[in-house]
Homo-oligomer: A and B are copies of this chain.
Amino acid sequence: MKLPLHPEFLTHSKGDTFLLAISGGRDSVALLHSLLEHGYDKLVLCHVNHRLRAADSEQDAAWVEDLAKRFDLPCELTSVDVASVAESRQQSIELAARNTRHQFFSRCAVQHHCHCVLLAHHADDQAETILFNLLRGSGGLKGMDHASQHEIDGVSLQFLRPLLQTTRSDIDAYIQQQHISYREDHSNAQAVATRNRLRNEALPLLEDIMGRNVKPALVRAAAIAQSTQQSLQEVLQGYELEDPQGRLYLPTLASLSPALRQMAVHDYLQKHQVAEISSDLITRCLSLIEDSSIAKVNLPQDRYFRRKEKRLFIDSSPSHPSCE
């Protein structure tokens, strides 16, 4: 039995080198074994000791080092007192831990001339992420991508998630069948309380109520939503929305359907680095199309979304004498 890897991941050459983020827990160890079985054996194991669980954390690091030796793979280790970092930067432990890992990956990337980092997120993690994003109101069904680009400390990293379509129970079965040993994951409950509660309380309750595994439904719904968004984006690119000065041309915008208008304004605000683009802000910006009594909408950081001569654009001067 092989653990299946994401079809997009399998388009990578087996000669490529990858950094593998490895905690020593079940998921990342299963990913290591599966990669080797699929012939991806140019791997650098990268382990962060977050020092959140005293001796346990030290043992995890030593265990990963042994694992690397056993497979004759290079291994990078770092040890950071994440709790202190979090306190000094007034961040959550979760955020400080993530930043620490990302900075470490960017150093490893430079050192090993390798910008692909493999993460062991699986389909059950994906379902949790989708539910979490939906419930916190980020506007819809959004999961993790198999591949995502990040710029960290001036270094470009590509995160890849080869197990994103593999369920937790498939990983369990694989671990059992292959007699693979791993470190029990005693993750810091405080740091990831919300995610852990979604996993351990909410999803089991929802599955009990519905009498079925709801995770595939969540994953499929998010995939459909993403494909729909992409299609709209493609449709939008077919319109010449901006004039040569990069301003939105109002008559073209007004000819679009409501969802396309929303997306066009959202993309425009995002392109101009407007922070916190809420659906409420977009609605107010869209009012400039239909309500000729309004000529500007306040944006964060003393900027304005403004209508002038059938164009919509962003500027930072508070008054504009010749506005419509």
Show the binding face of A for B, using Cβ within 8 Å: 134-137, 139-141, 194, 197-198, 201-202, 205-206, 209-212, 214, 216-218, 220-221, 224-225, 227-232, 234-235, 257-260, 262, 279
Nearest-Cβ distance from residue A220 to partner chain B, whole angstroms: 6
Residues of B within 8 A of A235 (CB): 231-232, 235, 257
Number of copies: 2
Give chain A's interface secondary structure class. Answer: helix
A216 touching B137 in the complex, CB below 8 Å, given contacts A206-B202, A209-B194, A209-B202:
yes
Nearest-Cβ distance from residue A156 to partner chain B, whole angstroms: 27
- Is B217 in contact with A231, judged by CB distance below 8 angstroms? no
Nearest-Cβ distance from residue A6 to partner chain B, whole angstroms: 17
Nearest-Cβ distance from residue A181 to partner chain B, whole angstroms: 33
Whole-angstrom CA separation of A227 from B198 in the bound complex: 28
- Is B232 in contact with A228, judged by CB distance below 8 angstroms? yes
Whole-angstrom CA separation of A202 from B136 in the bound complex: 15
Nearest-Cβ distance from residue A283 to partner chain B, whole angstroms: 11
Interface residue from B137, B211, B221 paired with A220 (Cβ < 8 Å): B137
Residues of B within 8 A of A230 (CB): 257-259
Interface residue from B134, B224, B257 paired with A231 (Cβ < 8 Å): B257
Interface residue from B137, B201, B227 paired with A259 (Cβ < 8 Å): B227
Residues of B within 8 A of A210 (CB): 135-136, 194
Whole-angstrom CA separation of A201 from B202 in the bound complex: 10
Residues of B within 8 A of A225 (CB): 140-141, 225, 228
